[in-house]
Amino acid sequence: MPGGAALRQTQGGEPVSAGHVTPDEYRRILDAVPDKYRLMVQVAVETGLRWGELIALRPRHLDFTHATLTVEETIVEVPKRASTTGQRMIVKPYPKDNE
């Protein structure tokens, strides 16, 4: 694997399928991530947000009083011809209506 990371293996030596990481693997991942991306990785792992939801987060989505993070939108990539603005990345609000 890139960066010298090793897959977990069963006792028989077969790689373990992707899915969950152990606490030790999580710490190793965080140690390997550059500081400027560490919080984003922590939020992704701790919340299970999808990539588009994660990159759509803004400071207004944080409520420190109630200790909540609200997912109000997602960013999706679309073909330029399918975009009303000509942009490839568009913001779509949540909840999704009729999808």
Mind listing the pLDDT tens digit for each residue in 52-74? 999 999 999 999 999 999 999 99
Structure tokens at 58: 């803004």
Q: Does some domain include residue 92?
A: yes
Mind listing the pLDDT tens digit for each residue in 77-89? 988 888 888 888 9
Based on the domain organization, do 42 and 27 belong to the same domain?
A: yes
Based on the domain organization, do 43 and 56 belong to the same domain?
A: no
Based on the domain organization, do 59 and 88 belong to the same domain?
A: yes
Indicate the pTM of the whole model. Answer: 0.68
Based on the domain organization, do 15 and 59 belong to the same domain?
A: no
Q: Does some domain include residue 76?
A: yes
Number of domains in the chain: 2
Q: Is the Cβ–Cβ distance between 90 and 83 less than 8 Å?
A: yes
Please give the torsion angle defined by the CA atoms of residues 34, 89, 94 and 84, in that order, rounded to the nearest 10 degrees: 170
Based on the domain organization, do 36 and 24 belong to the same domain?
A: yes
Mind listing the pLDDT tens digit for each residue in 13-47? 666 556 678 899 899 999 999 999 999 999 998 89
User: What pLDDT was estimated at residue 13?
Assistant: 64
| Residue whose structure tokens are 């603005």 | 85
Domain that holds residue 61: 50-99
Contacts of 93 (CB under 8 A, 6+ apart): 72, 73
Q: How many Å apart are CA 80 and CA 92, to the nearest integer?
A: 15
